[in-house]
């Protein structure tokens, strides 16, 4: 097909991305249904797919996506720790997950710092470090 506005051909990458995203959404639904975690992961998936593809092409991770992932990760954390009923000590679990977020971000920063000191080149950008920290929330 071609773009309706500029008539340029549409890359095969876009329909493949949509099919892969749809299959992954189906797998989430099949395994978790419309539970809070299932819905959280269904929200997470398209943002992670888009972030990954943007990063591959432009070597940048949009802050808007990272912030949204952090907000949804935090909401998921609060729900899991305080409202799901399967955690014995919700405050401890909550604090440990926040600590994981800080540690993951710190590991990303250490990798960036170390790689740059050794090679003189930037290996990870700040967007990568922020994604590491957000991953700690999930």
Q: Phi and psi for 84 in degrees, rounded to 5?
A: -85, -25
Count up the domains in the chain and report the number: 1
CB 132 within 8 A of CB 105: yes
Across the strands, what pairs with 2?
A: 9
pLDDT in tens, 90-135: 777 888 889 999 999 999 999 999 999 999 998 888 999 999 999 9
Domain that holds residue 83: 13-135
Give the pLDDT confidence score for residue 53 in this predicted structure: 93
Position 95 in a domain = yes
Is pLDDT at 60 greater than 80 in this prediction?
yes
Residue 75 lies in a domain: yes
Single pTM value for the model: 0.76
The confidence score (pLDDT) of residue 26 equals: 97
């Amino acid at each position: 097909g071609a773009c309706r506005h500029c008539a340029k051909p549409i890359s095969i990458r876009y329909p493949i991305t949509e099919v892969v995203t749809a299959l992954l959404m189906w797998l989430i639904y099949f395994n978790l249904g419309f539970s809070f975690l299932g819905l959280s992961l269904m929200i997470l998936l398209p943002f992670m797919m888009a972030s990954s593809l943007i990063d591959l092409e432009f070597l940048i991770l949009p802050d808007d996506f990272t912030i949204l992932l952090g907000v949804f990760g935090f909401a998921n954390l609060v729900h899991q720790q305080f409202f799901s009923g399967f955690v014995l000590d919700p405050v401890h679990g909550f604090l440990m997950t926040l600590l994981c977020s800080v540690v993951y971000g710190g590991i990303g920063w250490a990798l960036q710092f170390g790689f740059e000191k050794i090679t003189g080149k930037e290996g990870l950008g700040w967007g990568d470090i922020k994604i590491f920290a957000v991953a700690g929330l999930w």
